[in-house]
Amino acid sequence: MSEFEIDWARERRTGIAEAVLCDGKSAAQIEAILASAGERPLLLTRLRPEAHASLSDKARHDLDYDPSSATAFHGRPATGLLPGPGIVCAGTSDLAIAREAARSLAFAGWQAPIIADVGVAGLWRLMARLDEIRGFSVVIVVAGMEGALFSVLSGLVDAPVIAVPTSIGYGVATGGRAALTGALASCAPGLVTVNIDNGFGAACAAVRILKKFGEARDPGAHP
Amino acid sequence: MSEFEIDWARERRTGIAEAVLCDGKSAAQIEAILASAGERPLLLTRLRPEAHASLSDKARHDLDYDPSSATAFHGRPATGLLPGPGIVCAGTSDLAIAREAARSLAFAGWQAPIIADVGVAGLWRLMARLDEIRGFSVVIVVAGMEGALFSVLSGLVDAPVIAVPTSIGYGVATGGRAALTGALASCAPGLVTVNIDNGFGAACAAVRILKKFGEARDPGAHP
Amino acid sequence: MSEFEIDWARERRTGIAEAVLCDGKSAAQIEAILASAGERPLLLTRLRPEAHASLSDKARHDLDYDPSSATAFHGRPATGLLPGPGIVCAGTSDLAIAREAARSLAFAGWQAPIIADVGVAGLWRLMARLDEIRGFSVVIVVAGMEGALFSVLSGLVDAPVIAVPTSIGYGVATGGRAALTGALASCAPGLVTVNIDNGFGAACAAVRILKKFGEARDPGAHP
Amino acid sequence: MSEFEIDWARERRTGIAEAVLCDGKSAAQIEAILASAGERPLLLTRLRPEAHASLSDKARHDLDYDPSSATAFHGRPATGLLPGPGIVCAGTSDLAIAREAARSLAFAGWQAPIIADVGVAGLWRLMARLDEIRGFSVVIVVAGMEGALFSVLSGLVDAPVIAVPTSIGYGVATGGRAALTGALASCAPGLVTVNIDNGFGAACAAVRILKKFGEARDPGAHP
Amino acid sequence: MSEFEIDWARERRTGIAEAVLCDGKSAAQIEAILASAGERPLLLTRLRPEAHASLSDKARHDLDYDPSSATAFHGRPATGLLPGPGIVCAGTSDLAIAREAARSLAFAGWQAPIIADVGVAGLWRLMARLDEIRGFSVVIVVAGMEGALFSVLSGLVDAPVIAVPTSIGYGVATGGRAALTGALASCAPGLVTVNIDNGFGAACAAVRILKKFGEARDPGAHP
Amino acid sequence: MSEFEIDWARERRTGIAEAVLCDGKSAAQIEAILASAGERPLLLTRLRPEAHASLSDKARHDLDYDPSSATAFHGRPATGLLPGPGIVCAGTSDLAIAREAARSLAFAGWQAPIIADVGVAGLWRLMARLDEIRGFSVVIVVAGMEGALFSVLSGLVDAPVIAVPTSIGYGVATGGRAALTGALASCAPGLVTVNIDNGFGAACAAVRILKKFGEARDPGAHP
Amino acid sequence: MSEFEIDWARERRTGIAEAVLCDGKSAAQIEAILASAGERPLLLTRLRPEAHASLSDKARHDLDYDPSSATAFHGRPATGLLPGPGIVCAGTSDLAIAREAARSLAFAGWQAPIIADVGVAGLWRLMARLDEIRGFSVVIVVAGMEGALFSVLSGLVDAPVIAVPTSIGYGVATGGRAALTGALASCAPGLVTVNIDNGFGAACAAVRILKKFGEARDPGAHP
Amino acid sequence: MSEFEIDWARERRTGIAEAVLCDGKSAAQIEAILASAGERPLLLTRLRPEAHASLSDKARHDLDYDPSSATAFHGRPATGLLPGPGIVCAGTSDLAIAREAARSLAFAGWQAPIIADVGVAGLWRLMARLDEIRGFSVVIVVAGMEGALFSVLSGLVDAPVIAVPTSIGYGVATGGRAALTGALASCAPGLVTVNIDNGFGAACAAVRILKKFGEARDPGAHP
């Protein structure tokens, strides 16, 4: 029996197709997983450029790879996307994680615009784009440092807000614990959070909401 | 100017009425807040029985108090509730927090049944009630100890799942950090979490989803 | 030689009179310190109502005690105060610490108004009072939970801003670490912080600024 | 007197032959230990491929090295193995540690099959192999992330279950603390754990059980 | 449907009867659980004397309560016990947890002697009783402070050794983290551990070994 | 709309010009920010020599780069500086952070001398320069290890004292937590602190004081 | 066999008589230990006044109890003491621990004077008594908060210096971790430390030095 | 004034010559310090082989460098050493730190033998060399992992015992916190500790004892 047991039924069961976290896996392991996938769609996350470069030509040819988000699509083009959640991003350094969320949503069939550089140190930047943000039915907020943006934005919109703390920062913010704590201890009611740097997880949470409440996509069918 | 500046517009802005966290507030402060509220609805959370008992007769008379969840309603009867999220609860000791979530949802206009005692140490208990759980459009999961129920349930349902880690446990689980970590580090994609023991916050997150996606209630109007 | 060696020269050396932290001291120790003080002024902090009640009648008579801030003045009336820093306070539960800061400033000769209940979950409350806050030459901000108010306010005013994280909160916010981290990891440049619940320390920092930059008081002389 | 004092009597005293943890030791130190061993059997763990490559030809020739588990056998072939514990492994990234456990058991004389890729996010994968797992008299479970597999499996089998948390994961799971906490705080009674990534230690614990309870091997004698 | 869903099949499935952790449960909840149990055996742990005293006369009458271990037996006399594991205990203050383990074993049908006051600061005390300890087929070690006894004993016996770190200690040992770390980081191979103060869990781990390897008891049948 | 939204109004609003933290930003991102700046002044911090070397010739030409502080000035010469704060530095290893503070002050228009190598292990070194230090109206103290210098110096001067804990140290001091704790828990009243290694933040705090209290500079105008 | 196995040979083996840590022991346990001691000397530490009061009249009569240090002598009068180490104490709140050290030394036969209230916030207080402190051959330093006194004093004397961090403090200093870190990360070479609040341990360390280096006492013989 | 202010009077004041911690210092900084030293003796610690190699030929020529301890002597030959403390070392991986202690003692004039590989997992190894160890007037113990050797040895000898926890270990032992906790929480009275990996600090503590108690050396004079 193979050592790889892909959960192909996951999309039917939970609405979210199987994804492969590439950190900690060797090139040989990733290629074996791709081989076992055949034509079936698979999302690869945290596939660093070096790791991508170490794959075989065949494997690289089959993947739609985006280095800025370290994600790759296998077996499913990201076309015909529906309008999806808004992704609000505190700083330039948080963009890689914001893009992981956007790509994960694209893989699932939704187009998610990124509103960048709206950290609370210059509150007017957020205010200037508030109407735009209020137009989304789900909002993903990506922030590092102390994560004050999570609380501020949650107090300004009525949509579900999903926080993605990032590992951007130094000193007490090293590794993202400060931003995570900022999200969990928030004084703004109804804010939820995922793990540090987990843009993929936030996208999945948004997909659960969108699919359950009527904007569902036929898996694999966005033409 | 008063020291109390209740955010009466919050419900209009974010869909969630102002609530008062009573922990750390004196009886005098709570009564002053109630007085400033007048007829306007207000949810009180973490109002311990001793704190409730120390309020004036007048204040106690005006409140619909539930000791098992340590919550009180002011100025709004919880009647005419719509069917709402399901609340899944790992153990008997987690019930107080599950009830805080249920009462917060009732205050907002939704009836949320509690499915109790379905911890993963006896997996059949969860399996026996899985069809029932799959019937909810939003699921709140309340668990202490290591919080393994969060991951297991997220892998079995396609609805949005909101974890509420509780402070139930001892040793490394003291204070709820183990359960919180279990939710954040979960291998099940799309799980989101709130702070430890924050049943109210999970309810608010559910309300954001329900109101935004068409099952909205007219605030204050559930007859 | 006495076991108590009060640093009577501290005010001359650092601009700040000696203060006594009463937590962890017995009634006998506090009374011995007061006796050794004689007529000289002394500020007592963290003198809990029970501890105050356990002092002798004589000691209690000589003290100007304020239970809401748990502070007492010995040997110096707080009269003829100059206009001083503004104290901005996120929530009702943070008021005790805000008052410790205000009382410490009053002991040193400055009147410090408290702007309360302006947490960022309802940003309009802060905005409504921003002009008032911008009128202060030094701003002390007191907040618990995630401390997002520190970053937001620092981005809005040009005065020195001193954060006082409080131990208000539960779960990951227990004990004030979340608010402290929020202050330290803040994305707003120029914010400084003191220890959790250290309203006295923030007042001393403000006094250092005010005395050094020309609004100095003759110690003991505010008539 | 040599700086290396190998505990050759350990196998007689505790049932487990001396092993050498190679992390933090120089090539010269490892070779000196091998030289002092002579013909006596020795297990080397955490011998990274680079460290193995830096050994002399002679040393490399004498070792039975397995890069996927970073282990090497010296002076004892792993032949004639008895059927041993089952090793259950949550994800592909945990395989290196699972193999360290399997190789350590092989060195002691037992064959331990690995059941891989049965994480709880897709519970059916575990259920499909439950009968097989129930056939083992001792079960070692290897998992990273939140380690929910530890609790779920412990509730399903009656054999002794030994958890090996791995350092696989990111954010709050970085370094393996989340999985370790998941094992320690487990709601499933009778689960025991070893240190993070300590596949060797789990194997030793299994050997203690197997030797004490009648499936003992004559040390060094598996023909 | 009741809120209490006792896992009556647990003993058949995992070899260990259901137990109720009484910490965090109200007297009403405990009595409801006892009522639902009827004649079926149930072990109650962490039933503090005050909590026991607050139960009804009826409930107290039905329980075999031992205050020194804070445990109670319901529906099964602890008679006709087989010789079982040895419990080695570092200091007098660790005895309550050692007794929790002994009582849990008695409930399952085994007699487990306690060897007390053999901490490593006076190594001769341990050495004096080493032959006796080597006579047990499973050894449970209970220690607080730095837990050095775990490593020392593991190096001296060949039986399975299960560590129970206790919360005895102060300063860096407060809450038992130092002893737990001492068990996990032990240099002695094959040591396993349970959560801090989890004497019950260690007993369950021993029961798994004893039942699986031929010294099994017919559940409920020790006459 | 661009992904970079520089807060050009920040200097007018808070007295401090926008700065760019280069850690975690790619060369392409830094160049895009510089391009969007045009002639407007910008401070770059944490621009490591390797990162600086990877910029285009054009970008490097436009920057006044100082490798010892890892800072660069864009669009504003640091000339005509006013006498500013004193920077007191415990050890040679803390100099890089002390220089980040000095360069940030120079960018804002103040000359800040560094008093180096005055750690408390040799107290006479500090005493020898105390008169000089007492001449500054604001003092920035930079120290790693246990940060005892923060407390000692705060007790000796009456100026505002801003602590900058550094990540210099090993063992329990790794990452700067020990020094940070030393600043926060200080027994010296009125000490404030910024995040670990945040020389820039301390400079900004000093600028807030200096600008607010009459030694203000016309932004951009120091000729 | 008794559960209490006092290590009567400890004084001969290590120079330090057996002591009993009373925290966590019941009155019955303490009395049983005293009974087993008979005439032999025993030091009791952390015997809180309430615990002392709960002992039998007989037990209390036999003890030389000092509430300010929570210590009691059994079977050995503290008379004919030799001049011993100096104990330097930062603040009034640290006195209880300083006295535990002094009483432990008296039990072993040395008189140890306490130099109190010499915290570094007012450095002159320490300097005023430096000659006196330099006269001791061993110095024990007791301090809470950030523990800066440890470093400062170590840099000023050439005797062995033993730090005792205390749990005095709040916020980040809660529980004594800040002071402990201050001792461990100290920039002053040759400083050693014991656990938080461990005045007894520091006394024992001093006794080891004094006995080994010629100022030894005949155990039990100080007349 | 130079940025380097070597504390040349330290040896006279505290008995210990100035040492330079090279971690975190550039080659230029180290050479500048050496230049300012001239003929005066200086000990360099943590001078990694790469850092040593990057020094100028001149600097390297003047240094007596030992790569296995990462120390270098400048200006003082280590000849004519007196018999000094014993250094007991748990495992091969701890030898680098043990050697740092031995070299630091040699620089100060004492010869300190290393007793290696006596970890408690094989207690007989320690017992076999106990008489030798009991012959030293001061004992330094170097151990990583859980540090159980600290407690065991302290209970067996009457000399002062100084623990040096090392960063050897993985999982919960990563970075040395487990060993440090083992030393601080030890049940053996009179044990003292220094920071993780601080072999130099333990040597200095031993020197303080040896110099104060009559085995003093004339600094710089060991011929």
Cα E46 to Cα E50: distance, rounded to the nearest angstrom: 11
**Residue pLDDT, tens place only, D47-88:** 999 999 999 999 999 999 999 999 999 987 778 899 999 999
Whether G139 shows a pLDDT value over 60: the answer reads: yes
What mean pLDDT do residues G182-188 have?
A: 95
A166 touches chain B (CB under 8 A): no
When pLDDT is cut at 50, 70 and 90, the band that residue D217 belongs to is low
E93 touches chain G (CB under 8 A): yes
Contacts of B28 (CB under 8 A, 6+ apart): none
Q: Which class for B18: exposed (0-12), middle (13-18), buried (19 or more C-beta within 10 A)?
A: buried
Same domain, D158 and D194: yes
**F45 strand-pairing partners:** F21
Cα H49 to Cα H26: distance, rounded to the nearest angstrom: 13
What mean pLDDT do residues F121-147 have?
A: 95
Best B97, B117, B168 residue to mutate vs chain E (most E CBs within 10 Å): B117
E4 touches chain B (CB under 8 A): yes
Of residues H63, H1, H69, the one with CA closest to residue H27:
H63
List the structure tokens of G217: 């006492």
Whether E49 shows a pLDDT value over 90: the answer reads: yes
Same domain, A116 and A30: no
Closest residue, chain C, to B176 (C-alpha):
C171
In chain A, residues with a C-beta closer than 8 Å to the C-beta of C172 are 181, 184-185
Size of interface A-D (CB pairs under 8 A): 50
Cβ–Cβ gap F185/C200 under 8 Å:
no
When pLDDT is cut at 50, 70 and 90, the band that residue F24 belongs to is confident
Q: What is the dihedral of CA B168, B171, B172, B175, to 10 degrees?
A: 40
Contacts of G200 (CB under 8 A, 6+ apart): G19, G43, G45, G100, G101, G104, H189
Residue D2 belongs to a domain: no
Predicted pLDDT at B215:
53
The tally of CA atoms less than 13 A away on the side-chain side of residue D212 is: 28
What 3 state SS string does chain B have?
A: CCCCCCCCCHHHHHCCCCEEECCCCCHHHHHHHHHHHCCCCEEEECCCHHHHHCCCHHHHHHEEEECCCCEEEECCCCCCCEECCEEEECCHHHHHHHHHHHHHHHHHCEECCEECCCCHHHHHHHHHCHHHHHCCCCEEEEECCCCHHHHHHHCCCCCCEEEEECCCCCHHHHHHHHHHHHHHCCCCCCEEECCCCCHHHHHHHHHHHHHHCCCCCCCCCCC
Same domain, E95 and E172: yes
Cα F75 to Cα F44: distance, rounded to the nearest angstrom: 11
List the structure tokens of B111: 């009836």
**Residue pLDDT, tens place only, H70-101:** 999 998 777 889 999 999 999 989 999 999 99
ipTM of the shown complex: 0.93
**Residue pLDDT, tens place only, F71-125:** 999 987 778 899 999 999 999 899 999 999 999 999 999 999 999 989 898 898 9
Of residues G101, G47, H145, G196, the one with CA closest to residue E173:
G196
Chains H and C in direct contact, meaning 3 or more beta-carbon pairs closer than 8 angstroms: no
Cβ–Cβ gap E209/D154 under 8 Å:
no
Answer with the one of E74, E106, E121 that is the final residue of a domain.
E74
Q: Phi/psi at B43 (nearest 5 deg)?
A: -105, 130
Cα E50 to Cα F49: distance, rounded to the nearest angstrom: 66
Q: Which strands form B42-45's sheet, in the order they lie side by side?
A: B19-21, B42-45, B71-74, B63-66
Q: Which residue has the tokens 């004639």?
A: D80
Pairing status of strand G19-21 against strand D19-21: unpaired
Whether H188 shows a pLDDT value over 80: the answer reads: yes
Give C 167-186 residues with CB within 8 A of chain F: 180, 184-186
F152 touches chain G (CB under 8 A): yes
Cβ–Cβ gap H197/F171 under 8 Å:
yes
Cα H6 to Cα D60: distance, rounded to the nearest angstrom: 49
Contacts of B87 (CB under 8 A, 6+ apart): B98, B101, B102, B112, B113, B114, B115, B139, B140, B141, B142
Residue D23 is given by DSSP the state: T
pLDDT, tens digit only, all 223 positions of chain C: 345 667 777 777 777 777 999 998 999 999 999 998 888 899 999 999 999 999 999 999 999 999 999 999 998 777 889 999 999 999 989 999 999 999 999 999 999 999 998 989 889 899 999 999 999 999 999 999 999 999 999 999 999 999 999 999 999 999 999 999 999 999 899 999 999 999 999 999 999 999 999 755 544 444 4
Cβ–Cβ gap F178/G171 under 8 Å:
no
Same domain, H126 and H172: yes
Residue C120 belongs to a domain: yes
Which of the other chains make 3 or more beta carbon contacts under 8 angstroms with chain B?
A, C, D, E
What percentage of residues in chain H have a pLDDT greater than 90? Answer: 75
Cα E20 to Cα B23: distance, rounded to the nearest angstrom: 29
Which of the other chains make 3 or more beta carbon contacts under 8 angstroms with chain D?
A, B, E, H
Cα G127 to Cα G125: distance, rounded to the nearest angstrom: 6
- Residue of C62 and G7 predicted with greater confidence: C62
Contacts of E128 (CB under 8 A, 6+ apart): none
Same domain, B40 and B149: no
D105 touches chain E (CB under 8 A): no
Ramachandran bin of H70, using left for φ above 0, alpha for ψ from -120 to 50, beta for the remaining angles: left
**Residue pLDDT, tens place only, B115-151:** 998 989 889 899 999 999 999 999 999 999 999 999 9
Single-letter code of the amino acid located at C22: C
Same domain, A119 and A192: yes
What mean pLDDT do residues E92-118 have?
A: 95
Neighbours of D51 (CB within 10 A): 18
The C-alpha of E57 sits at a distance from chain D's nearest C-alpha, in angstroms, of 30
Cβ–Cβ gap B186/D145 under 8 Å:
yes
Cβ–Cβ gap G156/H13 under 8 Å:
yes
Same domain, C38 and C69: yes
Cα H207 to Cα G159: distance, rounded to the nearest angstrom: 9
Answer with the one of F26, F47, F74 that is the final residue of a domain.
F74
Same domain, F90 and F69: no
Cα B152 to Cα D182: distance, rounded to the nearest angstrom: 13
Residue H26 belongs to a domain: yes
Same domain, F168 and F104: yes
Residue F108 belongs to a domain: yes
Q: Which residue has the tokens 């994968």?
A: D125
When pLDDT is cut at 50, 70 and 90, the band that residue D16 belongs to is confident
Which of the other chains make 3 or more beta carbon contacts under 8 angstroms with chain H?
D, E, F, G
Whether A221 shows a pLDDT value over 50: the answer reads: no
When pLDDT is cut at 50, 70 and 90, the band that residue F2 belongs to is very low
Among A5, A21, A25, the residue with its CB nearest the CB of D117 is: A5
The three-class DSSP label of residue G147 is coil
DSSP string, A136-171: -SSEEEEE-TT-HHHHHHHTT--S-EEEEE-S--SG
Neighbours of G128 (CB within 10 A): 12
Neighbours of H62 (CB within 10 A): 16
Predicted pLDDT at E9:
74
- H or E element at residue D51: helix D49-53
Same domain, D113 and D29: no
Closest residue, chain B, to C118 (C-alpha):
B5
Same domain, A91 and A199: yes
Residue F223 belongs to a domain: no
Residue H220 belongs to a domain: no
Q: Which class for H49: exposed (0-12), middle (13-18), buried (19 or more C-beta within 10 A)?
A: exposed
Cβ–Cβ gap C122/B9 under 8 Å:
yes
Residue G60 belongs to a domain: yes
What are the residue ranges in chain B where pLDDT is below 50?
1-2, 219-223
List the structure tokens of D68: 């996927």
Contacts of C35 (CB under 8 A, 6+ apart): none
Predicted pLDDT at C1:
37
Same domain, B57 and B87: no
Predicted pLDDT at E134:
96
Single-letter code of the amino acid located at H45: T
Rounded to whole angstroms, the maximal C-alpha distance in chain A is: 58
Pairing status of strand F63-66 against strand F71-74: antiparallel
Cβ–Cβ gap B3/C116 under 8 Å:
yes
Q: What is the pTM of this model?
A: 0.95
The tally of CA atoms less than 13 A away on the side-chain side of residue A183 is: 29
Convert C200-209 to b/e letters by CB count within 10 Å (16 or more is b).
Answer: bbbbbbbbbb
Among H190, H194, H201, the residue with its CB nearest the CB of G14 is: H190
Of residues F192, F194, F180, the one with CA closest to residue F144:
F180
The answer to whether the beta carbons of residues G185 and F171 sit under 8 Å apart is: yes
Cβ–Cβ gap E171/H185 under 8 Å:
yes
C91 touches chain A (CB under 8 A): yes
The answer to whether the beta carbons of residues C152 and C185 sit under 8 Å apart is: no
Q: Which domain holds residue H157?
A: 82-215
Could you give the residue ranges of the DSSP H alpha helices within chain F? Answer: 10-14, 27-37, 49-53, 57-62, 95-108, 123-128, 130-134, 148-154, 177-184, 199-212
Closest residue, chain A, to F4 (C-alpha):
A117
When pLDDT is cut at 50, 70 and 90, the band that residue H217 belongs to is low
What 3 state SS string does F69-117 have?
A: CCEEEECCCCCCCEECCEEEECCHHHHHHHHHHHHHHHHHCEECCEECC
Residue H170 is given by DSSP the state: S
* Total number of domains constituting chain G: 2
Give the dihedral sign, CA G6/G9/G14/G18: positive
Angle at D215 between CA D213 and CA D220, to 5 degrees: 120
Predicted pLDDT at C222:
46
Residue A177 belongs to a domain: yes
* CATH code, domain with C210: 3.40.50.1970
Closest residue, chain H, to D168 (C-alpha):
H171
Q: Which residue has the tokens 């995630």?
A: C146
Cβ–Cβ gap H214/G212 under 8 Å:
no
In chain F, residues with a C-beta closer than 8 Å to the C-beta of H5 are 116-118, 122, 125
Ramachandran bin of G46, using left for φ above 0, alpha for ψ from -120 to 50, beta for the remaining angles: left
The tally of CA atoms less than 13 A away on the side-chain side of residue D30 is: 28
Cα G117 to Cα F10: distance, rounded to the nearest angstrom: 47
Cβ–Cβ gap G120/F155 under 8 Å:
yes
CA H24 to chain centre: 19
Answer with the one of A74, A95, A126 that is the final residue of a domain.
A74
Among D16, D189, D202, the residue with its CB nearest the CB of E201 is: D189
Size of interface B-E (CB pairs under 8 A): 51
The three-class DSSP label of residue C108 is helix
When pLDDT is cut at 50, 70 and 90, the band that residue A79 belongs to is confident
Q: Which class for G90: exposed (0-12), middle (13-18), buried (19 or more C-beta within 10 A)?
A: buried
Predicted pLDDT at G169:
93
Ramachandran bin of C69, using left for φ above 0, alpha for ψ from -120 to 50, beta for the remaining angles: alpha
List the structure tokens of F198: 């945040």
